[in-house]
């Protein structure tokens, strides 16, 4: 059975193997087209000898159930039908040929992305991730490389191969009562509770990853190479947060740099996205109402109480995006998915850091997602 109908994918789509968009640990992405309409598409070709078929089908099932302007859409999928392609799985998707958000950061070199530009991208990411969370889907590998742009500059979340789908309770709410245990994702973006190999909430872990993405956009480097004791910076960050110091300013101080080019609003936002204790981290609801996201200067220390934008109607929840004001239907998407096994504060000063030699500022590098970050298995 092929997604998008009962016809084999080659009957509906053509592939141009001379035009490759990217390559990963399990396969590559090429140009494709819909034979009937001529619509330009992309096809992700995965080697089933290197990635379990069940995992591939799960990702397709998730994507088929999601429909949002900031989530990549699947047009069809299925296994190859002859001796040469029977070990390959083909996923035909809408084309997002504008490159990765990662490229938008790297191409600037030492120049940080302006806050206004970062805000435009970040708002779209929030719209896409919020929609996924309403549908019960925790992405678990949010990173700049998994955000593509189309020709119009609209961002598309991709690669749901590590995602988790939460079940629904009888009242229709998402049941997040069972902690997740998979140590998955990409190391520089993974939340500390994920890397610590203890139970965690997938939505809170996504919020940390969003914080890493925003920090990298505005700074040109990661706040940490890895949010664990394997990184010399992590204990320093734990100490800074224990002493109620600004995370953003602490990270910059390690490299004898100032964060004064950042507005107080975005420093506050980053500090509260990158809280090591997930219970102190902003929720998605609070994040969407933050002053920086809404492009409002701080009028008072209190950020206020979140007013949900979700409205539950007869046909299920609907969702209003931050930027466009349009609605994207969630409907009963999660029912289609089967589950398998603060106040503003400033830095109090860092005299102990000032006595240390400046460390070299780290650079950004592409990250490989893994099903298990604790072993050396093939990356996603």
The predicted pLDDT at position 211 comes to 98
Active-site residue, 11 included: no
pTM of the model: 0.84
pLDDT band at 306 (very low <50, low <70, confident <90, very high): very low
Residue scoring higher pLDDT (201 or 351): 201
If one counts every other C-beta atom within 10 angstroms of the C-beta of residue 244, the result is: 10
The mean pLDDT of 307-313, rounded to a whole number, is 38
Q: Is 169 exposed, middle or buried (0-12, 13-18, 19+ CB in 10 A)?
A: exposed
The domain segmentation of the chain, as residue ranges, is: 9-94, 101-354
Lowest mean pLDDT among 13-22, 125-134, 211-220: 13-22
If one counts every other C-beta atom within 10 angstroms of the C-beta of residue 191, the result is: 26
The predicted pLDDT at position 212 comes to 97
Per-residue model confidence as pLDDT tens digits over 8-60: 567 889 999 899 987 776 788 999 999 999 999 999 999 998 888 988 999 99
E strands, the chain, are 13-23, 27-34, 40-47, 74-79, 88-94, 137-138, 147-149, 155-157, 164-165, 311-313, 316-320, 327-329
- Beta-bridge partners for 164: 138
The mean pLDDT of 106-125, rounded to a whole number, is 91
Average pLDDT along the chain: 84
Catalytic residue among 141, 159, 206, 271: 141
Alpha helices for 160-295 (secondary structure H): 192-195, 202-219, 233-242, 247-253, 264-273, 284-288
**Fold observed for domain 9-94:** Phosphorylase Kinase; domain 1 (3.30.200)
Per-residue model confidence as pLDDT tens digits over 323-353: 554 434 454 454 544 444 333 333 334 445 5
In the predicted model, is pLDDT for residue 292 greater than 70?
A: yes
**Fold observed for domain 101-354:** Transferase(Phosphotransferase); domain 1 (1.10.510)
If one counts every other C-beta atom within 10 angstroms of the C-beta of residue 223, the result is: 24
Query: Helix or strand or coil: residue 351?
Result: helix
pLDDT band at 70 (very low <50, low <70, confident <90, very high): very high
How far is residue 70's CA from residue 131's CA, in Å, rounded to a whole number?
A: 9
Residue scoring higher pLDDT (71 or 84): 71
Phi, psi angle pair for 19, to nearest 5°: -120, 100
Residue scoring higher pLDDT (2 or 184): 184
């Amino acid at each position: 059975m092929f997604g998008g109908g009962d016809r084999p994918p080659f009957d509906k789509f053509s592939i141009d193997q001379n035009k490759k968009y990217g390559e990963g640990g399990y396969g590559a992405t090429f140009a494709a087209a819909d034979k009937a309409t001529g619509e330009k598409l992309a096809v992700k070709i995965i080697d089933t000898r290197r990635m379990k078929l069940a995992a591939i089908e799960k990702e397709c099932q998730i994507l088929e159930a999601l429909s949002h302007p900031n989530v990549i859409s699947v047009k069809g999928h299925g296994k190859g039908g002859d001796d040469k392609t029977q070990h390959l799985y083909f996923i035909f998707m809408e084309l997002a040929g504008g490159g990765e958000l990662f490229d938008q950061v790297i191409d600037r070199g030492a120049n940080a992305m302006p806050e206004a530009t970062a805000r435009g991208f970040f708002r779209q990411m929030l719209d896409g991730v919020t929609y996924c969370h309403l549908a019960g889907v925790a992405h678990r590998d949010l990173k700049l490389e998994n955000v593509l742009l189309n020709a119009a500059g609209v961002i598309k979340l991709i690669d749901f191969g590590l995602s988790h789908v939460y079940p629904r309770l009888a009242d229709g709410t998402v049941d997040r009562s069972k902690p997740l245990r998979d140590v998955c994702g990409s190391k520089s973006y993974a939340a500390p509770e994920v890397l610590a190999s203890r139970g965690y909430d997938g939505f809170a872990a996504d919020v940390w990853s969003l914080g890493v993405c925003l920090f990298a956009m505005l700074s040109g480097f990661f706040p940490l190479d890895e949010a664990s004791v394997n990184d010399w910076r992590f204990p320093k960050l734990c100490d800074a947060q224990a002493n109620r110091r600004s995370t953003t300013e602490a990270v910059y101080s390690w490299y004898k740099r100032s964060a004064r080019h950042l507005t107080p609003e975005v420093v506050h936002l980053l500090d509260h996205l990158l809280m090591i204790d997930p219970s102190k981290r902003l929720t998605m609801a609070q994040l969407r109402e933050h002053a920086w996201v809404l492009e409002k200067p701080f009028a008072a220390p209190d950020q206020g109480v979140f007013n949900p934008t979700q409205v539950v109607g007869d046909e299920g929840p609907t969702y209003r995006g931050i930027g466009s004001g349009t609605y994207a239907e969630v409907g009963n998407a999660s029912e289609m998915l089967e589950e398998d096994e603060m106040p503003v504060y400033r830095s109090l000063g860092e005299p102990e850091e000032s006595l240390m030699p400046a460390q070299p500022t780290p650079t950004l590098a592409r990250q490989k997602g893994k099903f298990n970050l604790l072993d050396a298995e093939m990356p996603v």
